[in-house]
Amino acid sequence: MNIVLEYLFSVQAAVLVAILIVLKLGIKFVPQNRAYIVERFGKYNRTIEAGINMIVPFIDSVAHDRSLKEQAVDVPSQGAITKDNISLTVDGVLYFRVLDPYKASYGVEDYAFAVTQLAQTTMRSEIGKIELDKTFEERDQLNANIVNSINQAAEPWGVQVLRYEIKDIVPPQSVMSSMEAQMRAERERRAKILESEGDRQAEINRAEGEKRAQVLAAEAEKQQQILTAEGEAQAIIRVAEAQAAALQKIGNIAVTNEGSSAIQLELAQKAIAAKEAIAKESSVVLLPDGNTEAASVVAQVLSIADSLKK
């Protein structure tokens, strides 16, 4: 009895172990962003992706493990010849990812190596289409052309190239010396242009300043002349007003008896003084017709004074 029980226990244990082995072999946990290629009897069966998956033990097997993440591969430096026959040394970095695990497993032996080689040949081909100067100026366009060409060729491999970046472009030493001389000459030319522009602007500013100064000086002189003329006019007006006031005052006094006597006396004195001056300057003496000449002169003056008063 004990022997039977031990036999049954050993059989159950063996069955349990077999079940555990089958479960271990039949259950596959696929990590995120990975894909397993399952073959049955050496032939492609299916592709299992992230999560828990079941396969048939001893019949199915995982033939390939493919990463679906973006991968970066260094493209070794290599020689290339530009359109104007200049030899360059170029290297870069290639970024790609697997889109179809089936094509990546059965379409090419080593898709990473194949894409890298394709990137090198495509890069040489694209550089041969442009001149040396444009390899530096149009690097972004060159990268885009390489990516497009690689994607067209890599489509049967289930691989998509995301971008290609050229790291270094090294021309020959002689070309570098020529480029440095050219850049030096260009910098000197720009410096001379900037200097001449500065001198021209300085001359313009100086001329504008002189013009402005002349305008201001003319404006000041004009204003001075206006003020002088206004001052002279005011002076003439004041003198005329003073003379008019003096004549008015004289006229008012002349109509009085005292004023009339004073005027007669003043006129008589001036008449005598005038005759004395004539006598000194001339040897001929003119005598008046009568003794009443001075009186007649005084009478005329008094008549004018009466007219002014009226």
**Which contiguous run of DSSP H or E holds residue 18?**
helix 2-26
List 60's β-bridge partners, or say none. Answer: 40
Joined together, the tokens standing for residue 75 give 């493209």
**Which contiguous run of DSSP H or E holds residue 125?**
helix 111-127
Q: For residue 103, which phi and psi values (nearest 5 degrees)? A: -65, -35
**Which contiguous run of DSSP H or E holds residue 289?**
none
CB distance 64 to 37 below 8 Å: yes
List the pLDDT tens digit at each of the 310 positions of the chain: 566 656 666 777 777 777 777 777 778 888 998 999 999 888 999 999 888 888 888 888 888 899 999 999 988 888 888 888 888 888 889 999 999 999 999 988 888 999 999 988 888 888 888 888 788 778 888 888 889 988 888 888 999 999 998 888 888 777 767 777 777 888 888 888 888 888 888 888 888 888 888 888 888 888 888 888 888 888 888 888 887 787 777 767 666 666 666 666 666 667 667 666 666 665 555 555 544 455 565 565 556 555 545 5
3-state secondary structure of 158: coil
Q: How far apart are CA 36 and CA 49, in angstroms?
A: 6
> With the C-alpha atoms ordered 276, 277, 281, 286, is the resulting torsion angle positive or negative?
negative
Beta strand 43-48 with 71-81: parallel, antiparallel or unpaired? unpaired
Q: Where are the domains of the chain?
A: 2-66, 71-171, 255-309
Q: Which CATH architecture has domain 71-171?
A: 2-Layer Sandwich (3.30)
CB distance 164 to 72 below 8 Å: no
Q: How far apart are CA 173 and CA 187, in angstroms?
A: 21
CB distance 97 to 70 below 8 Å: yes
pLDDT in the model for residue 308: 47
Joined together, the tokens standing for residue 2 give 């004990």
Inter-axis angle of helices 111-127 and 139-154, to 10 degrees?
140
Q: How far apart are CA 253 and CA 305, in angstroms?
A: 10
123 burial class (0-12, 13-18, 19+ CB within 10 angstroms)? buried
pLDDT in the model for residue 300: 57
pLDDT in the model for residue 291: 47
pLDDT in the model for residue 278: 67
Q: What are the C-alpha distances in Å from 151 to residues 47, 50, 119, 140, 262?
A: 23, 26, 10, 17, 133
